[in-house]
């Protein structure tokens, strides 16, 4: 049997599950952990499909009725939970809309805002479902994305299902923060680490969503091999923040806060962290274009064509700039924001750090 031959997953993970399924050594619960970009939610659906696939040669085949139902998340033996605000779980229509999004975009971040958790009622619903044998396939598969977001009450209730799992039930838990889980949950699962995706893996994921798009290796690398960030940039070119990046760097170099403040205010206006991340991507692309001009003195830019003249002049003015260091400052700012640093302070600190780094290159 050929397992996961078409699945865009790291070879280490593919080899592990190939061995598990080939030797019939499936555990009752797996804890998939890694970075947001590692493709864990997409693989969880592929594993669910593989267990109930009807093909005799390749699993998941993607063609049989079981695979198609799993891909649409309407297979009666496959259940999927994810963290969301209380209003989502209280409104079936909203929950089903997000479930549909997950099915259509298995490797992207769910567009859920607000305070998110997995409520105890949702866990109780899973426990009730677990009482039944598989309806159609060989296995029932329950997938819980963002399992660390369970309330304490929900986690304790879920623990009982982990301790006494029924036959023919597989639990797949997904987390980006394995240390945020209760020790009692971690200890009852087989942990599987998902490494950062390779260029080949990212390209395979992008091909599923954008088969006709031309995507350079430089763009993938600049977005830190994160398929969701790349796809969003392709879907929303109007949100490139190209002009804002130019103004921010101009203000940073000159130390002119009358230039910086309007840019920072615009980026933070909607209080949306994803918009803030896209602005940081624009800064990275701007500096990457300047580095490109410095290396080969071309007129064209790799990323922000509208700012080509500005980035070319910048490259000519700061010939000794350590571009790696400057881009690392942007990366560090993103890491601070992911740890819930105040956005205004993070961007102000970035402006000051960039000023010091760039001025030293004169």
User: Is residue 323 scored above 80 in pLDDT?
Assistant: yes
Please check whether residue 288 is in contact with residue 222, taking contact to mean a CB–CB distance below 8 angstroms.
Answer: yes
Total residues belonging to the chain: 362
User: Is residue 192 scored above 90 in pLDDT?
Assistant: yes
pLDDT of residue 35: 92
User: Is residue 179 scored above 70 in pLDDT?
Assistant: yes
Calculate what percentage of the chain has a pLDDT beyond 70: 99
What is the rounded average pLDDT for all residues in the chain? Answer: 93
Mean pLDDT of 52-66: 96
274 vs 268: CA distance, rounded Å: 10
Please check whether residue 61 is in contact with residue 27, taking contact to mean a CB–CB distance below 8 angstroms.
Answer: no
Mean pLDDT of 304-329: 93
- Domains delineated in the chain: 2-196 (3.40.50.300), 236-359 (1.20.272)
Burial status of residue 133 (CB atoms within 10 A of its CB: 0-12, 13-18, 19 or more): exposed
- Backbone φ and ψ of 141, nearest 5°: -130, 120
pLDDT tens track for 40-58: 999 999 999 999 999 999 9
User: Is residue 113 scored above 90 in pLDDT?
Assistant: no
pLDDT of residue 88: 95
64 vs 185: CA distance, rounded Å: 34
Confidence category of residue 232, pLDDT binned at 50, 70, 90:
confident
Please check whether residue 96 is in contact with residue 72, taking contact to mean a CB–CB distance below 8 angstroms.
Answer: no
Mean pLDDT of 151-159: 93
Task: Please state the pTM of the whole predicted model.
Answer: 0.82
Please check whether residue 49 is in contact with residue 209, taking contact to mean a CB–CB distance below 8 angstroms.
Answer: no
Report which of residues 165 and 236 the model is more confident about: 165
Number of H helices, E strands in the chain: 17, 7
304 vs 282: CA distance, rounded Å: 8
| Cα 244 to the center of its chain, rounded Å | 25
Report which of residues 299 and 329 the model is more confident about: 329
User: Is residue 125 scored above 90 in pLDDT?
Assistant: yes
User: Is residue 167 scored above 70 in pLDDT?
Assistant: yes
User: Is residue 359 scored above 80 in pLDDT?
Assistant: yes
174 forms bridges with which residues in the sheet?
32, 145
Q: Any residues with CB less than 8 A from the CB of 71 and at least 6 apart, and which? A: 45, 49, 62, 103
Report which of residues 51 and 229 the model is more confident about: 51
Can you read off the two tokens belonging to residue 23? 């030797």
Tally the C-alpha atoms within 13 A of residue 287's C-alpha that lie toward its C-beta: 23
230 vs 37: CA distance, rounded Å: 11
pLDDT of residue 238: 66
Q: By C-alpha distance, which of 185, 213, 51, 218 is closest to 118?
A: 185
């Amino acid at each position: 049997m050929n397992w996961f031959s078409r699945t865009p997953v790291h070879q280490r993970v593919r080899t592990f599950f190939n061995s598990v399924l080939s030797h019939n050594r499936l555990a009752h619960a797996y804890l998939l952990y890694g970075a947001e970009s590692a493709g864990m939610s997409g693989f969880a659906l592929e594993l669910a499909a593989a267990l109930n696939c009807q093909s005799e040669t390749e699993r998941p085949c993607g063609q049989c009725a079981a695979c198609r139902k799993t891909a649409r998340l309407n297979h009666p033996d496959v259940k999927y939970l994810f963290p969301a605000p209380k209003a989502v779980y209280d409104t079936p229509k909203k929950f089903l809309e997000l479930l549909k999004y997950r099915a259509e975009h298995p490797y992207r971040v769910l567009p859920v805002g607000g305070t998110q958790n997995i409520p105890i009622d949702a866990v109780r619903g899973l426990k009730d479902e677990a009482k039944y044998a598989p309806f159609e396939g060989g296995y029932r598969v329950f997938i819980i994305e963002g399992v660390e977001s369970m309330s304490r009450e929900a986690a304790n209730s879920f623990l009982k299902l982990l301790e006494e799992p029924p036959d023919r039930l597989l639990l797949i838990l997904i987390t980006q923060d394995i240390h945020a889980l209760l020790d009692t949950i971690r200890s009852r699962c087989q942990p599987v680490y998902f490494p950062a995706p390779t260029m080949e893996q990212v390209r395979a994921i992008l091909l599923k969503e954008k088969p006709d798009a031309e995507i350079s290796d430089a763009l993938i690398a600049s977005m830190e091999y994160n398929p969701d960030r790349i796809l969003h940039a392709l879907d929303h070119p109007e949100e490139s923040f190209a002009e804002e990046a130019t103004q921010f760097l101009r203000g940073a170099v000159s130390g002119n806060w009358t230039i910086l403040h309007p840019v920072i205010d615009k980026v933070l206006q909607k209080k949306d962290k994803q918009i803030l991340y896209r602005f940081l991507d624009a800064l990275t692309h701007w500096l990457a274009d300047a580095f490109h001009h410095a290396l080969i003195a071309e007129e064209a830019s790799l990323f922000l064509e509208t700012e080509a003249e500005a980035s070319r002049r910048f490259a000519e003015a700061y010939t000794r700039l350590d571009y790696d260091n400057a881009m690392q400052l942007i990366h560090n700012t993103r890491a601070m924001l992911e740890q819930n640093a105040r956005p205004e302070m993070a961007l102000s600190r970035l402006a000051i750090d960039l000023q010091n780094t760039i001025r030293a290159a004169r």
